[in-house]
Amino acid sequence: MKLEQTLLLSRREVAQLLTIPECIDAVETMFRRLGENKLPPPGILGIKSKHGSLHIKAGLLPGECDYIVAKLNTNFPRNRAEHDLPTIQGLIVVCDGANGRPLAVLDSIDITIKRTAAASAVAAKYLARPDSSVAAVCGCGQQAAAQLRAICAVLPLEKVYAFDSDQAMAENFAVTLGQELSIAIESAGDLPSMLERSDMCIACTTATEFFVRQGDVPPGMFIAAVGADDSHKQEIDPALMASAKVVADSLDQSCTIGDTHHAIAAGLMSKEDVYAELSEIVANKKPGRTNDDEIIIFDSPGIALEDAVAAVAVYEKASESKLAMGFYFAA
């Protein structure tokens, strides 16, 4: 059921309406449809300022009800320290694909966090060793918490090492998420040792220089490289990118703003060296992991269709929910 007025949802309401399992299901279905050529490719436009950037991402979701979805997100890495504001802020607009009518305007923060984590979980499902039980988390902010919740939904994690440039954040993450998820989480100050003991790694920082080095990564590791969502950001050693099996959420984006971009700039890779897009693997057009020793990196700058399917899931759920009453305004 579509509401006759434009629905306005705050971050709190979006968080109530979108669970991690629902987001994982929506994102996996989207990647499968994309791999089956049932969805048009998304679009992206970016602009930079002195202290941050703004991205506009848009996607079309054809189906029983057509939707056009656009997200306007700002990304200002110094916000926490200088302004006590989130790094990422923005809005998502859901429009009727048949007539262009604005159906909903949603705060983007919770959707961005959860869809990014959901994409990593989908990638882990297809690319990590199924028995992976130890994870290394680099960066211990809100994105890391969502990433860990999502990964726990698809892999049998028993132990987690938490690493952050701010040791207090890593310690707080270990206590809080350990209690919530009932798994052993240890804050760690020695990143190479932490990686050596792990089956997978989640890198979700705002770093501008790589810190996951080729010599520190053991055979068989799966790495979700999440933080490089702009051309100046970097987490993964270009030499490691060049030697690993790289799977991109979007080939063009990874080669333009992801960690793959830095390996290409260093002359160690070309666009043709990227093994696959995740959509090809989810749609069974290419195999994922083929042996236990492969190092596989999911280069995930984030694509508009992830936001689109998550936002539509929230809109449709709100349309049928009493939570929607009182939170919309006339179009």
Active-site positions read 71
Q: Which has the closest alpha carbon to 216: 202, 229, 197, 235?
A: 197
Classified as helix, coil or strand, 318 is helix
- Torsion angle of alpha carbons 313, 319, 320, 323, nearest 10°? 100
CB burial class (10 A; 0-12, 13-18, 19+) of residue 267? Answer: exposed
Query: Which residues are CB-neighbours of 163 under 8 A, at least 6 positions away?
Result: 136, 137, 138, 139, 140, 170, 187, 188, 189, 191, 194
What single letter denotes the amino acid at residue 300?
Answer: S
Q: Which has the closest alpha carbon to 298: 309, 282, 312?
A: 282
The dihedral of CA 123, 125, 131, 136: what is its sign? positive
Q: Which helix (H) or strand (E) holds 105?
A: strand 102-107
Q: Where are the alpha helices (DSSP H) in 38-83?
A: 79-83
Nearest-angstrom CA–CA distance, 122 and 192: 26
